[in-house]
Structure 1
Amino acid sequence: MADAETSPVTAAALRAIEAAGGGAALAKRIGVTRFAVQQWKDTGIPAGRVGKVSAATGIPLHELRPDLFPRAAEVAA
């Protein structure tokens, strides 16, 4: 799982890959290469792919990319 040096964004990518049943499974579900998904372990999920990853895994946008999609309560504050 995530260690002390893993950012929230890359930890979320790892969680999404696991939830999908692995990198190859996630890649197939959202129409990208397995290599692209593997890169997300270091970079996080690209903004343009977050919606499809969320739909494929059931993980909310704000959990996959909290830097781009804050929770509603955080926005209201």
Structure 2
Amino acid sequence: MCGGPYPRIDRKTLLYSLLPPLGYGIYIVVRGQLIERYPYPFINPLRIGYPQMLLNMMILLAVFMAIALLLARIERW
């Protein structure tokens, strides 16, 4: 059976779905500070500056949240 009478993706699940990308983003920044090398050019504060890096990370989190919301809507459909 693919689904039940209750939605499996609730608000708490949506918030928890942001933890892995947020944790990975923090890991990238901390590791990059230690070795002065970043795996992605759009999160490299040495090239683009910290304000732009933070904006890029917020955009990525918003994209992840939009995908999670889309999946929640599909599930309730």
Q: What's the TM-score bracket when you normalise by the shorter of the two chains?
A: 0.3 to 0.5
Between 1 and 2, higher relative CO (CA 8 Å, sep ≥ 6) is seen in 2
Which of the two has greater helix per residue? 2
TM-score for both structures, normalised by structure 1: 0.34
